[in-house]
Amino acid sequence: MAERRVRILMAKFGEGYEMAIMKLARAFSEAGFEVIYTELRDPQAIVNSAIQESVDHIGVTTLPGAHIESFSTLIGLLQKEGAGHIRITAGGFLDDASIPRVKAMGVVEFFPKGTTYEELIDWAGRNIKATEE
Q: Read off the CATH number of the domain in which 48 is found.
A: 3.40.50.280
The C-alpha atoms of residue 35 and residue 104 are separated, in whole angstroms, by 26
Mean pLDDT of the chain: 90
Position 108 in a domain: yes
1: in domain? no
pLDDT on residue 133: 52
As a whole-number percent, the residues of the chain with pLDDT over 70 amount to: 96
Residue 39: predicted pLDDT = 79
Q: Span 103-114, mean pLDDT?
A: 94
Q: What integer pLDDT is reported at residue 41 of this predicted model?
A: 85
- In a domain, residue 23? The reply is yes
Domain assignment of residue 2, yes or no: no
Please indicate, yes or no, if residue 131 is contained in any of the structural domains. Answer: no
Q: Does residue 16 lie within any of the structural domains?
A: yes
Q: Which domain holds residue 30?
A: 7-125
Using the predicted structure, report yes or no on whether residue 1 has a pLDDT greater than 50: no
Number of domains in the chain: 1
pLDDT, tens only, 9-22: 999 988 877 777 88
Residue 30 reports pLDDT greater than 90: yes
Percent above pLDDT 90 for the chain: 67
